[in-house]
Structure formats: C-alpha cells, structure tokens
C-alpha cells in the first residue's frame, strides 16, 4: 500500500499541492486522472521521490520515501517520467538493461540477462532488441521504456502518462500490457492517464485530482457517474454503458 498523510508542496502563493491524504491499494492498476494542471504528475513524482515534499509523510510498503536510502528505494519503487532523454545510440536491450542497475551496478550477470530477456519478450520487443532507439516508432520506444521499468522488478511501478503521443491502437496495446503485468507479475501500477475512458476500462481504482487536491476516489463503477465526471473535468459529461463497461461522452 502507498499512504500519503497531510502531504503538501507549495510552489507559490497561488499554486500548491495538498494537503493530500490518500491510500493507494496494493495490487492492480490505480489511475490518477483529472484536468490539465491538476497536480497528477506532481503527486506521482513526489511518491517516486523525484520531487521533495514540504510537509507530510509518504510511505510505500511502510518505507518512508523521504528517509529510505536510494539504493533500497530503487528496489521498491520504479518510475517512468514523461520526459525521457536517453542517448538514442542505445539498443533496446541496452535500455532495458538499465532497469537492473540497482542490483548489478552496471555489471550484468547471467541472471540479469535472463530477466532482461523476460521483459523484452513480455513487451513483444524480441525482434527489435538490437535496434537503436532512434530507429523505433513512438509506440515501440514507449514499450521499451516500460520494459526497462518493469525490469527493475519493483513491487510498485509509477508511470507518468505512458500513453502520451500514442495513437488509439497503441494506447490499447500498452494498457493491455500493463494489465497483464499487474496480474502476471503481481505489480502495483500507478499510472497518470489523460483519458478517463482508459482509466475506466483498465484500472481497478481511480483517484481524481483537481486543484492539487484529491477530488474523488473509488472503483471505476463509483467514479464513472455523470455528475462526478462533470465536476472533475469542468465540462458536461454523460456516461453510457458500453460493451466493456461505462464510457464517458463529452458534450
């Protein structure tokens, strides 16, 4: 479980996050949703300790994020940000291999190589593993980054808008991979999503963020209501029943 208690981050007199009190359940996929600028990515990066907090307490599996040694935290939480600046003259396999750094410190063992191959295969990248990143499509490159994060083999995986710049088909493919990773490997995946319908279709739990606060949280069934979504996104939304669950329609 991830627990945030009275967490605050003050940017200016007008811009602040918190106070946030939140419990993210262990297992499955939790989606952070909300309008642009709501604070979703900020919350995620604070949980991943890429951004410090001004007040409060964040614990992941009972570990205090602020005080746990980096080498230990890297075996508990892995995080993928939106902005990735890896050298493009890396192959897919070399990139995925970076996920083993907390264990190998750059000296890959036979066991590391087996684990790297496992996630390359899992993300359907086997035929691409010797290609350089700049030879890949956007969807292929995104899969390689996710394979790298999964290769870190942490119980908790944080992903900041992994569907960014993906078309509908590749977005569906990515969410199916994450759904399978949560089930097959027993991971807890927290993902920032722009599209509420992807959250409703693939997440087990949804946390809606607005103005730096937790506006609403619950199961997709609980969140996918006309009045709740209209309030969260500040636009009229009607929820209808689709073949795979509820669908939000914007007016």
Question: Tens digits of per-residue pLDDT, 196-219?
Answer: 999 999 999 999 999 999 999 999
Task: Find the mean pLDDT for residues 145-162.
Answer: 95
Banded pLDDT at 113 (limits 50, 70, 90): very high
Per-residue confidence (pLDDT) for residue 87, from 0 to 100: 66
* Measured distance CA(186)–CA(183) in Å, rounded: 5
- Condensed to tens digits (0 to 9), the pLDDT of residues 79-104 reads 999 876 666 789 999 999 999 999 98
Structural element, H or E, at residue 239: strand 237-242
HSE of 183 in the Cβ direction (CA atoms, 13 Å)? 10
Rounded distance, CA 16 to CA 220, Å? 27
**Band (12; pLDDT cuts 50, 70, 90):** confident
Task: Give 29: exposed, middle or buried? Use CB within 10 Å, 0-12, 13-18, 19+.
Answer: buried
Q: How confident is the model at residue 244 (pLDDT cuts 50, 70, 90)?
A: confident
CA–CA dist 251, 235 (Å, integer): 7
Please give the backbone phi and psi of residue 94, each rounded to the nearest 5 degrees, phi first: -65, -40
Tell me the average pLDDT across 32-58.
93
Distance CA 113, CA 122 (A): 14
pTM: 0.93
Cβ atoms of 115 and 100 within 8 Å: the answer is yes
pLDDT value of residue 114: 96
- Give the residue with greater pLDDT, 29 vs 138: 29
């Amino acid at each position: 479980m991830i627990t945030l208690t009275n967490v605050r981050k003050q940017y200016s007199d007008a811009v602040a996050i918190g106070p946030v009190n939140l419990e993210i359940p262990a297992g499955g996929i939790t989606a952070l949703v909300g309008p642009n600028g709501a604070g979703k990515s900020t919350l995620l990066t604070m949980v991943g300790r890429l951004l410090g907090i001004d007040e409060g307490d964040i614990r992941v599996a009972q570990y205090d994020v602020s005080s746990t040694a980096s080498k230990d935290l890297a075996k508990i939480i892995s995080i993928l940000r939106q902005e990735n600046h890896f050298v493009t003259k890396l192959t897919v396999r070399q990139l995925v291999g970076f996920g083993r750094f907390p264990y190998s410190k750059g000296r890959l063992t036979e066991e590391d190589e087996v684990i790297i191959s496992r996630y390359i295969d899992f993300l359907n990248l086997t035929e691409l593993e010797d290609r350089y990143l700049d030879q890949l499509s956007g969807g292929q490159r995104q899969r390689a980054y996710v394979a790298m994060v999964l290769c870190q083999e942490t119980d908790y995986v944080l992903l900041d808008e992994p569907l960014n710049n993906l078309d509908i088909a590749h977005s569906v493919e990515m969410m199916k991979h994450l759904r399978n990773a949560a089930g097959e490997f027993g991971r807890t995946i927290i993902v920032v999503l722009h599209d509420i319908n992807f959250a409703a279709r693939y997440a087990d739990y949804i946390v809606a963020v607005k103005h730096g606060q937790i506006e609403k949280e619950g199961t997709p069934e609980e969140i996918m209501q006309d009045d709740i979504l209209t309030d969260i996104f500040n636009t009229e939304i009607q929820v209808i029943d689709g073949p795979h669950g509820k669908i939000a329609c914007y007016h």
